Structure 1
Amino acid sequence: MSLPRPPDGDPALVGRTADLDLLRSFLSASAAEGRALVLSGEAGVGKTALLDRAAALADAAGVTVLRASGVEFETDLGFAGMNQLLLPLADRRGGLPAAQRDALNVALGLDAGPPPDRLLVFTAALRLLRDAGPLLVVVDDVQWLDRPSAAALGFVARRLAGARVGVLAAARTEAGGFFDASGLPRHEVAPLDEPSAAGLLRARFPRLSPGARRRVLGAAHGNPLALLELPAALDDRPGAPPAVLPLTGRLQAVFAARLAGLGPETRALLLLAALDGGGDPGLLQQAAGAADLAALAPAERARLVRVDGDARLRFRHPLIGSAVVAAATLAERRTAHGRLAAALAGDPERGAWHAAEAAAGPDERIAGRLERAALPALRRGDAGGAVAALVRAAELSPGVRDRARRLTRAAYVGANLGGRLREAAGLLSDARRADPEVAASLRATVAAAFLLLNGDGEIQLAHRLLTGAIETSAHDRADLFEALHMLLLVCVYGGRPELWPAFEDALKAAPRPLPPALELCGTLFADPVNATPASLRRLDAAIADLRDQTDPEDIIRVGLAGVFIDRVTACRDALARVVELGRSGNAPTPSINALIALALEAFLAGRWEQARALADEALGVCEEHGYHLLAWSARYQLGLLAAVRGDDAAATALTERILAWTAPRRILSAEAYCAHVHTLAALGRGDFQDAYRHAASVAPPGRLPAHAPQALWVCFDLVEAAVRTGRDAEARAHAAALDAAGVAALSPRLVLLASGASAMTAPEDRFGELFERVLAEPGAERWPFDHARVRLAYGERLRRTTTAGPRRARDQLAPALDVFERLGARPWADRARRELGATSFSRADGGLTAREEEVAALAAAGLTNRQIGEKLFLSPRTVGAHLYRIFPKLGVATRAALRDALADRPAPAPGSRDASW
């Protein structure tokens, strides 16, 4: 039998490829020689969906399908299940022997008569089914079949050999019932794995918020019914208690079915266990008071709970706990929360939450406890938990000022750490309605500025709000420092000189001591060129302290301070912890910055595939949470990778996407980042004029502008482009500016770039010494792309200017080529390969060298000296010098005669070589 495959992408069968393959095999075998199979699994796991698909496949193949389903409240009706199955075959009963026919008619309620002999009924059913083949019998919820039907089905299922009949049944795991599946093949339908569960949720609920998605995935444990039902019941407000999810009526019926037979003492203990969620027997006993935990035994026998190897009580599925809570009255839940709050007096966080849930109305004492409980959540990076605590504290606040203050703080945490821009805007609106004066506070202004900056890119308005709020009155120190951090980011992203004086004045006026991260970012992130040795030492000390740091905000701020001076590698472990926090849903906003910083570090270290993966992940998180500002930073990383790999179309598309969003908002720093991408792309394709134009837009030759940290990233590029376009004076001026600013003192990588720039512009008697010195710097090869570019520049100059040039050039060009090829830097590999080819000599008869051959061919094709130089990485003057030597060798005086002269030359003798170059 040929079985059609189901349509690809059917959400109901996401993650069921192996199960479907098994069913196809079963259907093929059963249609040929008879088979039985029992699908078992927990309620809601998807057994019915698989039965439906099997029935559809069989029907499409021309197989008759008979279906029945056990009904929980019909288990006392004799042969009710067989009646469902066999009635469609009523017209075939005439072919049965009379005794079997009569017995079957009575059993199915079609004729009156004394109770029939069961063996006659069973054999009649078997013969009827065998005669009707090919046939598929599908029975769902077989555990609820009535006793006679269950016995008949078992009799038939064990006697299918040689028949063209398949029996496919589904039963809940450990559900009991009358059907005896012993000896029959079984297949356990497992819950969906995590990727499949996430895929099903995305397919059915594409607009579900990230926080809600995480909660549903965690509670459903791969159960498809729970995945499809929970989103409809979920309360996804920021302050919703995180422990227990609400259930729809359908889920409640599935997961609470076995609670009804338990006694009140057992249900009370289960309620404590469900609301606590930790399963600590000591805590349960303390909260239960005089109750005996032995009363949980009936729940264990009913397979609702189990005791793990660590002696903790666990629900067999998280939604059983939700069903326990849903079945309890409001008074019972408050009483249980109150007992748990008392038992957790030594645990401020958990105790505060239970006290809040036990509260019957506003209570400032409990609200204060809950607000204080947000602090440890923040320190460990649990932004969602902190927001929930603050919102619930606001709900419990009797006074409007306290309510507004707590809502404002929740909005700030939600936006700055929790990835909740839309929710934060709503919380700020709620705070404004509660108390306009509090809503105008500095903390509220910081939250509003964060929303303006990251959501809408409103640089000017965010700057005006912050500077105005900072200047108007005295502020709490912590709020002021947060405002200065935000103002710093506004200035950095704005990229406009006129924004900086307000920040610098506010920083000078701020009370001392400044927080270390603020002081470091205020100098090293904002203007790293002017870093002092003392500030570098303080940064290195702060990075060393990150080993024990858990606050994601502090980690990110220290990391940002080191991003332009190559300290990210030292922060890598701490930043990786922030990324993991984001992946777990606790601090998505800092994780974006961490991913972007790690992508840059991987790019510079030559781990380009890892860099792409990190940048892609950062972009995905940005798009998921609506962080448009940070999204262009991720696209910049992808643009760098496209540029160095020679994918100019992708590099251009990415920068156009960046500028389409940033240009209307006058976010000028984005222009410098895009110019960096274009500079690398132009250098790769040999368009040195374009490379010079873009690099000079970031840092004019001979200048390192204040508050333009990107100038460090194009310092070598600018000098190279200037040299290649004959701008020797500009190249020397910029190399001198790098030296005067002490750029090489900032990091070993900047030693490589700044000293490499000096070597490129050095006179004939010094460049070799300078190149050799910089390439021998300890650890210089940690930045393989930059190191190979300096080697390439050295090899190019050696080949052109020294007697022993070709041989010495090959010593530099060959390893550079190896690195470029390993990295996938195709344009630079092509360039190094051409240079290596030019170190070989082409003729022994006084003819042209390899380089002269290239120049002559391009000149004959009509290219100008500048165009030839751009293609061959030469200055126009060098091209002219080559042509000056080429013309007399070929006996021509004009370019017009070159083509014919080249065509008329005799072929060189085999193995001949030229001593000139």
Structure 2
Amino acid sequence: MGIAGVVRPLGGLVGRDAELDLLRTFVGEGTRGGGALVLSGDPGIGKTALLDEAAAVAAAADVPVLRASGIEFEADLGFAGLNQLLLPLADRLAGLPPAQRDALAIVLGLTTSADAPDRLMIFTAALGLLRDSAARTGLLVLVDDAPWLDRASAAALGFVARRLTGSRVALLIAGRPGSGAFPDRAGLPTHEVLPLPEDAAEELLRAGFPDLAPRARRRVLADARGNPLALLELPAALDSRWLSTGRPLPAALPLTGRLSELFASRIAELPTATRHLLLLAALDGTGELSVLQAAGPAGLADLDPAERAGLVYLDGPTRRLRFRHPLIRSAVVAPTGLAERRAAHRRLADALADEPERSAWHLAEATVEPDDDVAARLERAAQSVLARGDAGTAMTALLRAAELSPRTRDRARRCASAAYLGAQMAGELRGAVELLSQARPDDPSDAVSLQAAVAASFVLLNEDGDLDTAYRLIVGAVRTWNADDGSGADAARAALIEALHTLISICMFIGRPELWAPLHEAVAAVPPPVPEPLALCSVTFADPLSAGPGHLARVDAAVAGLDGAADPAHVSRVGMAAVYVDRQAGCRTALTRVSELGRTGRAVMHAINASLILTFDDFLTGNWDRAQSLGEECLETCRTHGYHLMAWTTRYKLGLLAAARGDERAGADLAEEMRAPTATRRILYFHHVRCLAALGRADFEDAYRNAAAMARPGHLPSHTPHVLWVCMDLVEAAVRTGRLAEARAHVAELRRAGVERISPRLALLAGGAAGLAAPDAEFVAIFERALAIPEGPGWPFEHARVRLAYGERLRRVRAPAARDHLAAALATFERLGARPWTVRAAGELRAAGTGPLTAQERQIAALAAGGLTNKEIGARLSLSHRTVSSHLYRIFPKLGVATRAALRDALAALPAED
């Protein structure tokens, strides 16, 4: 199927708006006053599709279209292209002068003559025929594949193109840059058709292949580099297993016939030694000249013909050989046989003997029969790659190692390891299901491997949401763990560590305290030393109230050590250990690195975790626009890769943001999506979002119902750290609904548990809760202590909430300081865009005002609302700008606003008598 028939899923060419606008303008102006334009671009870039669009534009305007195309095998036939183009106009030849008519009739094969007509006469006749044909209606002439035109036709069209001004002929030519043929040297106006931008390329690929596996999609996008033909043809050449599973893709993607034709002739014309070197370069992929020199059968000088043919170039800064386009790399490999490719891989393996990882890859590609030594080398290479955060490549290595494993047990174990990486890190859940079926032990008495258990549990979690079955599967596999499973002590230990981290996540989502005991027993039984992220997460991620000063100091040390950390698993897990004790801000730089990996598909699950932590930190620190953007991107990543469990947590973060901003519809939708009976944690998410939304709109009864559903007043359930985040919510709702005893019971429990020692943020919230429930004689000192916490302003939304609560109590006892706290809270809410909280604070500030505006204050407020500066207001009212400033200082709290921008609405809302 050609490009023109596929690249319009929405009724137009994807990513070509600029070109379509250009074509509409060119066809309109050219068919009125004449002109020529060259569309120049690489093969497959979509020039033919653009010519089709130009033809459609002309047809809609009732403008006739002539069309011709250069054909490689007609390149030696004189005037073959001109014949193809002008033959439809043969019945108009009679209108030409006799000499021109006779010359053109010979070219079109209508008559014969012993004498060849004069070339200038032919060119002039062609121009005259086109001008006459366009005189009444205009004419669009389209020439495709212009570099393949025969020389005579190219010369004639070049002559015509430069003489169209004043005619009604629009000549549109499709050519290739650097071809050296027409129209490359014709000096005509040229528009370069560039590759599709990244978003358009992905849109086109998704439209044509919606079920393409994420890793295959990323690979096609990378190799196609925005070339529309490649985007539509590369997936068509892939084996069906590659399209929807995590099967490893070949080093050079196979090409369809159409793609091979783009470069086949240039490659076939090269000397044999040059093709051999290109094959080595294509299979190696690094472009290192030293490797090519060591592995190649001849010298590097044999690469010169390939460089002259425009296939490769030497990158100056790196001194590496680069292919002009990834498709050329595939085109070099495509015509070679298996034996030739294996021999090349063997030479590369020998040349890279001092680099075990790279050598193992090439050795595996050169090996046909199962080989335990090669399989073991690949497994070690997978472990090295994984330590650098490339789960997808590690998965590929393990799958090839499984294929080369002579023993069934080793093959099953390596398949299970690949399934684990696919499910939990590389974003290949669909492929994991197939791999798990291959990882079943032949002997039913054999225990399920840890890797298989983790992969299966992750599939359960994300596909069926069966948390309890996933829990039992992991606990059973951990209890039967064997350090001698055939993978080596280090690999077996690593599998145990991964299983325990998965168990932590499952326990967290189920949310039942009794399920944590097997986890703690297993962590205690891990052969020392226990990895620090595991030791930290098993406490702070499970029950931060149980973390003593020594444990918190270890979290601080782990966070401080992240700067040089390269392992994304280590970074994301330290971030997870930090989030419930509010140390995540110190992880931002490292977490951002890991989050970026998700965009390349190298460590998808850890990237999602990192993005979630960053989103929550942005929410807490007031970077709400960034939180929204990152959260939405994270949710899309979860959907793309099938990580439905992580999507719940993402919705939770976005739901909190929507509730704080007063986006009732989005918040309600997100909350409802989180309302699921199968997991305590998701129920907590739902109630937290609903509670925050109710507090914003001052519906304190609804807020209390949702807060109390998370934690009973006076009770902080263990292993449910989210209840610490709503401690002030529960107390505020209880106080405002007349449940003072319940509020004070909860404050007493917060004090007994020592919540304030965990982090300054929790100390701020606990202090705000205590101030809300305190007697009139005590609340001032309690609020002042809470607001004096130095780090408090770093959490602007929660700090403003405490100031609002303090200002409300001060206003009720008619304390003058109320206005200062209310105005400060209002300013913060306005800056954040927390609309319902802005309304609450503004109402309180108006209630704390000193009475109606004086006539002069009304004048000043109106002028300030109109945009005048203090000096301009002073000049108009014969006041100093300092006097104006003093008046505004008194006006703001009277109107319940904190900024000049809010004055207009506040004045409009005043009663008429004011």
Write the deviation string for residues 394-427 of structure 1: whole angstroms up to 9, x where unpaired: 1111111111111111111111111111111111
Shift of 1:161: 2.3
Counterpart CA distance in 2 for 1:238 and 1:910 is 73
- The match for 1:688 is 700
User: Is the partner of 1:113 in helix, strand or coil?
Assistant: coil
SS at 1:331 equivalent = helix
Map of 1:458-477 to 2, 5 A cutoff?
458-472=466-480, 474-475=482-483, 476-477=492-493
Q: Quick one: structure 1 residues 53 and 504, their matched pair in 2 at CA, closer, same or farther if it must change by over 3 Å?
A: same
Comparing 266-275 and 138-147, the one that deviates more: 138-147
Change (3 A) 1:428 1:723: same
2:628 and 2:643 map into 1 onto residues whose CA distance is: 19
Of all paired residues, the percent bearing the same amino acid is 59
So what's the TM-score if we normalise by structure 1?
0.88
Partner of residue 408, structure 2: 400
| SS state at 1:547 partner | coil
**What is the distance in 1 between the residues matched to 2:435 and 2:613?**
30
Report the alpha carbon displacement of residue 176 of structure 1 after superposing the two structures with TM: 3.6
Q: Deviations over 1:745-797 (max 9, x none)?
A: 10010111111212222222221122112112112100011111111111111
Matched, 1:303 2:310: yes
Give me the whole-angstrom Cα distance separating, in 2, the residues matched to 1:18 and 1:746. Answer: 56
2:359 corresponds to which letter in structure 1? G
* Aligned-pair CA distance for 1:722: 1.2
* 3-state SS of 2:265 partner: coil
State the SS of the aligned residue for 2:172. Answer: strand
Cα separation, 1, equivalents of 2:324 and 2:526: 56
* AA partner of residue 704 (structure 1): L
Contact kept, 8 Å, 1:11 with 1:204, in 2: the verdict is: no
Does the 8 Å contact 1:279/1:314 carry over to 2? yes
Q: 1 CA distance for matches of 2:829 and 2:530?
A: 45
Q: Name the amino acid aligned to 1:821.
A: E
d(CA) in 2 for partners of 1:372, 1:473: 21
Q: What's the secondary structure of 1:550's corresponding residue?
A: coil
Query: Any idea what SS the aligned residue of 2:334 has?
Result: helix
- In 2, the alpha carbon distance for the partners of 1:788 and 1:138 equals 66
Tell me, yes or no, if the aligned pair for 1:635 and 1:658 is still in contact at 8 Å: yes
> TM-score normalized by structure 2?
0.88
Deviation at 1:712, TM superposition (A): 0.5
Equivalent residues of 2:409, 2:441 under 8 A apart: no
CA distance in 2, matches of 1:446, 1:137: 63
Which residue of 492, 512, 515 maps to 1:499? Answer: 515
Name the residue aligned to 2:906.
none
- 1:418 equivalent to 2:430? Answer no
- Of the candidates 589, 594, 598, which is equivalent to residue 578 of structure 1? 594
Contact preservation (8 Å) 2:585, 2:617: yes
Relative distance call for 1:495 and 1:816 in structure 2 (3 A) is same
Q: CA 1:330 to 1:731, structure 2 compared with 1: closer, same or farther past 3 Å?
A: same
Q: Is residue 533 from structure 1 mapped to residue 549 from structure 2 by the alignment?
A: yes
Q: What CA deviation, in whole Å up to 9, does each residue of 1:20-54 have, x standing for no partner? A: 22222222222122111222221111111111111
Alignment-derived partner of residue 169 in structure 2: 165
Separation of aligned partners in 1, 2:283 and 2:646: 39
Q: Which segment is superposed worse, 150-159 or 787-796?
A: 150-159
| Kept in 1: contact 2:295–2:348 (CA 8 A) | yes
Q: Is the 8 Å Cα contact of residues 431 and 439 (structure 1) preserved in structure 2? A: no
Distance 1:142 1:689, change over 3 A: same
Other structure's SS at 1:78 match: coil
Structure 2 Cα separation of the partners of residues 430 and 775 of structure 1: 60
The Cα of 1:509 is off from its aligned counterpart by: 4.2
Of 620, 641, 646, the residue aligned with 1:604 is 620
- Give the corresponding residue for 1:891: none
- Match status 1:321 vs 2:310: no
* Rounded Cα–Cα distance in structure 2 between residues aligned with 1:110 and 1:438: 84
| Match in the other structure for 1:734 | 746
CA shift for structure 1 position 7: 12
Matched, 1:331 2:335: no
Q: Deviations over 1:800-830 (max 9, x none)?
A: 125xx1x211011000010111111111111
* Superposition map of 1:328-727 within 5 A: 328-432=336-440, 440-472=448-480, 474-475=482-483, 476-659=492-675, 662-663=676-677, 666-727=678-739
Matches of 2:684 and 2:251 in 1, distance apart?
Answer: 47
How far did 1:179 drift?
5.7
Pairing 1:206–2:214 present: no
Alpha-carbon deviations, 1:128-160, whole Å to 9, x = none? Answer: 111110111111111111222222212211221
Matches of 1:836 and 1:826 in 2, distance apart? Answer: 15
The match for 2:841 is 832
Deviation at 1:439, TM superposition (A): 6.7
Instruction: State whether residues 387 and 567 of structure 2, in contact with CA within 8 Å, keep that contact through their aligned partners in structure 1.
Output: yes
Q: Which has the larger radius of gyration?
A: 1
What's the secondary structure of 1:546's corresponding residue? coil
1:269 aligns with 2:281: no
For residues 34 and 389 of structure 1, the distance between their equivalents in structure 2, rounded to whole angstroms, comes to 60
Shift in Å, 1:470: 2.8
Matched, 1:823 2:841: no
**Separation in 2 of the partners of 1:530 and 1:653?**
35
Deviation of 1:444 (Å): 1.8
Aligned residues: 836
SS in structure 2 at match of 1:455: helix
Give distance in 2, aligned partners of 1:792 and 1:388. Answer: 56
What is the CA deviation profile of residues 79-110 of structure 1, one whole-angstrom value per residue up to 9, with x for unaligned ones?
Answer: 22122111211211111222222221112111
Q: Is the 2:47–2:174 contact (alpha carbons within 8 Å) kept by the matching residues of 1? A: yes
Contact 1:411/1:425 (8 A) holds in 2: yes
Give the Cα–Cα distance (whole angstroms) in 2 for the partners of residues 489 and 327 of structure 1.
49
- For 1:7 and 1:539, the matched residues in 2 are separated by 52
Letter in 2 for 1:596: L
Q: 1:189 to 1:650 in 2, by over 3 A?
A: closer
- Distance (whole Å) between structure 2 residues aligned to residue 711 and residue 841 of structure 1: 40
CA RMSD of aligned residues (A): 2.2
Q: 2:795 aligns with which of 783, 792, 799?
A: 783
Shift of 1:450: 2.0
Structure 2 partner of 1:142: 146
- Give the aligned partner of residue 21 of structure 1: 21
* Deviation of the 1:909 alpha carbon: 13
Does the 8 Å CA contact 1:404/1:438 hold for their aligned counterparts? no
Given candidates 257, 260, 264, the residue that maps to 2:268 is 260
Aligned to 2:50: 50
Distance in 1 (CA, whole Å) between partners of 2:443 and 2:54 is 61
The answer for the alignment partner of 2:187 in structure 1 is 183
For the 8 Å contact 1:70–1:145, the answer to whether it is kept is yes
In the alignment, is the contact (CA less than 8 A) between 2:213 and 2:246 conserved in 1? Answer: no
Say whether residues 1:246 and 2:247 are aligned partners.
Answer: no
Distance 1:835 1:385 in 2: 59
- In the alignment, which of 807, 814, 821 is matched to residue 795 of structure 1? 807
Q: Cα distance 1:178–1:39, how it changes in 2: closer, same or farther (>3 A)?
A: closer
Letter of the 1:822 counterpart: R
Q: Deviations over 1:627-681 (max 9, x none)?
A: 111111111111111111222332222111122xx32xx2111111111111111
Out of 746, 764, 772, the position equivalent to 2:758 is: 746
Structure 2 unaligned regions, length at least 5: 1-5, 484-491, 854-909
Letter in 2 for 1:222: G
1:217 to 210, 217, 221: 221
Tell me the amino acid that sits aligned with residue 744 of structure 2. R
Alpha-carbon distance in 2 for matches of 1:434, 1:606: 56
Equivalent position SS for 1:48? helix
Q: In 2, distance between residues paired with 1:773 and 1:320?
A: 69
Q: 1:303 to 1:8 in 2, by over 3 A?
A: closer
AA aligned to 2:112 is A
Rounded to whole Å, the distance in 1 between the matches of 2:168 and 2:626 is 55
Give the residue type in structure 1 aligned to 2:360: A
C-alpha separation between the residues in 2 aligned to 1:457 and 1:536?
Answer: 33
Three-state SS of the structure 1 residue aligned to 2:191 is strand
Structure 1 residue 437: deviation in Å?
5.7
Partners of 1:99 and 1:648 lie apart in 2 by: 81
Please say if residues 48 and 170 of structure 1, whose CA atoms lie closer than 8 Å, have aligned partners that are also in contact. Answer: yes
